Amino acid sequence: MTSRTNTLISSNEKDHSDDVNYTAFKNIPCRIIYKENYIHKDIRLEKDMLDYYDPEIHAIYYNNTKALDIKPRKLNDSQKVLIYLHGDQNVFSSLKNAVPISYNTGLRVICIDYENNKQDATIDKVLNTFKFLLKQGYHLDNIGIYGNNFGGGIATAAVLKMRNEGMGIPGAMILCAPNCDLIVKSCLNENFEIGFPPTLIQANFKKVGNMSFLKYYQRFNKSGVDVKLDMYEGAIFSKNSSWNNKNNQLAITKISSFLKTNLNY
């Protein structure tokens, strides 16, 4: 079987939408080819993983925002979608975790490209993504948002901004070891009692150097947010963990169950 991940999208494919430009990533090879055991030498995605999951991945551009658009082999047709915010790497680092999540949930996953040192601009990109999906026909209560590490802080800040600006809130939020003290200090002074989505927080309880996730959980819980804390003895979704790590697989099972319950599919 020839994997669909051999290509992102042909560079000469015409754009049929006013909102999407598939040649947005000038620094991304239009054809991603297998080099030795990896899909790309700089991305370091294992060929075995991509052969197993066989995702469809497009580079897209909308509302001044770049992203990777992942669709699983068996796409759920219930008009649900997940926005994915990476941790401390880059948009390509999203793929190692987002591809298995997409496969196991059956959801389309949009991985936003952003720079960690531009928080305000990144929050705006998240809102741009929601607007883009709403224009495509998705409803807010059918959209989930996932933030890994630094992305967890961004996800929280973006949802708060949406709520405060009257956009509404997504159907569910997942935070994986959320870690950004600057965002924690600003966000956790907000009032979460007035409209905030059900939230799943996943973390490694042995990583005592970063306990930011407890600040999130305590503040959400105190405010009456429907929040669940899912703890693991060991790393989950870290840049050094394998795609088939047992903790990752268990965490994805919990993510899938949480999204199916709260996005209602």
Pairing type for strands 56-62 and 65-71 reads antiparallel
Q: Find the farthest-apart pair of alpha carbons in the chain and give their distance in angstroms, rounded.
A: 53
| 35, two tokens | 């080099």
pLDDT band at 98 (very low <50, low <70, confident <90, very high): very high
pTM of the model: 0.85
Residue with token string 């939408």:
17
Q: What Rg value do the Cα atoms of the chain yield, rounded?
A: 17
Residue 238 sits at φ, ψ, to 5 deg, of: -90, 165
Residue with token string 């082999």:
73
Residue 96: per-residue pLDDT: 85
pLDDT band at 184 (very low <50, low <70, confident <90, very high): low
Distance from C-alpha of 244 to C-alpha of 70, rounded to nearest angstrom: 19
Cβ-contact 93, 78 below 8 angstroms: no
| 179, two tokens | 């870690």
CB burial string 161-200: b at 16+ within 10 A, e below: bbbeeebbbbbbbbbbbbbbeebbeebbebebeeebbbbb
Tell me the average pLDDT across 49-57. 83
Residue 8: per-residue pLDDT: 39
More confidently predicted of 136 and 30: 136
Q: Order of strands across the sheet with 108-112?
A: 56-62, 65-71, 108-112, 81-85, 143-148, 172-176, 199-204, 227-232
Give the containing element (helix H, strand E) for 173. strand 172-176
Strand partners of residue 56: 71
Distance from C-alpha of 70 to C-alpha of 1, rounded to nearest angstrom: 19
Which range among 158-172, 229-243, 245-259 shows the weakest confidence by mean pLDDT?
A: 229-243
Checking if the pLDDT of 210 tops 80, the result is no
